Structure 1
Amino acid sequence: MKKRPEFISIGIITKAHGIKGEVLVSSLTDNPEQFETLKHLFITRQDGNRSEISIQQVRGKNDRFIIKISGIDNRNQAESLQKCLIEKRLEDVEDLPVDEYYIFDLIDLNVYTTDFQLLGRIKDVLSLSANDIYVVQGESKEYLIPAIKSIIKKIDLKKEIVLIEPIEGLLDL
């Protein structure tokens, strides 16, 4: 089984907010409600340096939040955090519902049709409004596979495979 990351990005600081050191954070997760209960997180700067932070206050809704970080007390300090990632340890991440997966778990899985034809490996996942699309790189062709139940028949992370039942014409595009 492939190695999982130690940290997972859940937000990105987009800009400073006000003059008291608050920052505006855009959520990178399907569960933005988790921001409301977080107290200790990590911030990763663009140079890769990571440090633990304490959250004093969170307010906002949907996928944008205003966060007050302990020790960040003025606009200049807040501006220095622009484009930094907000992360948490993977071990602290709640379990996903059945049939939901982290993108990093899907990357590099082998994709087979139900008649065991190897199509290739997942090289990317596109998150679109209707559903995700798995970008599968074959030997000489790239496939775009919709991540919907009628096509994705099985995902086995231990065996590192995805089994699909392609609809007519899907693999001809």
Structure 2
Amino acid sequence: MSSGNETVLIGKVSATHGVRGQLRITPFSGDVDSLLTLRSIMVKKPGGEMEIFAVAASKAHGKKVIITLKAFDNINQVLHLVGRELYALREQLPELPEDEYYWCDLLGLQVVTEEGESLGELVDIIVTGSNDVYVVQGSGREILIPALADVVLDVDSDAKRMTVSLPEGLLDL
């Protein structure tokens, strides 16, 4: 198990909201509620350094979260945060149900077929309207794998491996 002070990528600042310095957040877990109890967030600066901000308030807004930070009270103060990745301490995040994972726990996994054929490394996750899509890079090509229960058979965090059952013809695309 991970230590409680580990940082977890939780989302991205997609836009400002209103004129009072609120931020619209796109969560990477798909679970809006998991971000509503955060007491603080960290924003990665362009140089990679983390900046910590106390959260004054948060509310669900469709599939996004609106966060008010204690340090800011107008739109001009938060414009520089748009487009930045957000992190939180793992200890602040709720435990996810079985078969649900935070993105940081999936990125970097080796993806193999149920026959044991290595497909490559999970390097990105694309959010779509219905289900996420895993981007797997390997053997000089990119494979897009739907994140569906009948496709993803197993995630072994300890072995850093995901086992998949690919839909017929997916590798032929």
**Bin of the TM-score, shorter chain as denominator length:** 0.7 to 0.9
Tell me the amino acid that sits aligned with residue 26 of structure 2: S
Matched, 1:162 2:146: no
The gaps in structure 2 that reach 5 residues or longer are none
Q: Are residues 153 and 82 of structure 1, via their aligned partners in 2, closer, same or farther at CA, if it must alter by over 3 Å? A: closer
Separation in 2, partners of 1:14, 1:104: 22
Q: Could you say what the CA RMSD is over the residues aligned between the two structures, in angstroms?
A: 3.1
- Tell whether the 8 Å contact from 1:15 to 1:82 is kept in structure 2 after alignment: yes
Match of 2:15 in 1: 14
For residues 37-79 of structure 1, give each alpha carbon's deviation from its aligned partner in whole angstroms, at most 9, with x where no partner exists: 3333334444545333333334553244554432424454344
Separation in 1, partners of 2:27, 2:115: 36
Residues 1-173 of structure 1 mapped to structure 2, 5 A cutoff: 6-12=7-13, 14-15=15-16, 17-18=18-19, 21-29=20-28, 30-59=30-59, 61-79=61-79, 81-173=81-173
The gaps in structure 1 that reach 5 residues or longer are none
- Tell whether the 8 Å contact from 1:16 to 1:82 is kept in structure 2 after alignment: no
Report the Cα offset of residue 129 of structure 1: 1.7
- Tell whether the 8 Å contact from 2:107 to 2:122 is kept in structure 1 after alignment: yes
Separation in 2, partners of 1:37, 1:157: 26
Using the size of structure 1 for normalisation, the TM-score is 0.76
In terms of Rg, which structure is larger?
A: 1
Report the Cα offset of residue 13 of structure 1: 6.2
Separation in 2, partners of 1:69, 1:127: 26
**For this pair of structures, how many residues does the alignment match?**
170
Q: Are residues 90 and 169 of structure 1, via their aligned partners in 2, closer, same or farther at CA, if it must alter by over 3 Å? A: same
**Structure 2 residue matching 1:130: 3-state secondary structure:** coil
Q: Are residues 23 and 46 of structure 1, via their aligned partners in 2, closer, same or farther at CA, if it must alter by over 3 Å? A: farther
Tell me the amino acid that sits aligned with residue 25 of structure 1: R
- Tell whether the 8 Å contact from 1:27 to 1:63 is kept in structure 2 after alignment: yes
Separation in 2, partners of 1:13, 1:86: 10
Taking only the aligned residue pairs, the percentage that are identical comes to: 27
**Structure 1 residue matching 2:105: 3-state secondary structure:** helix
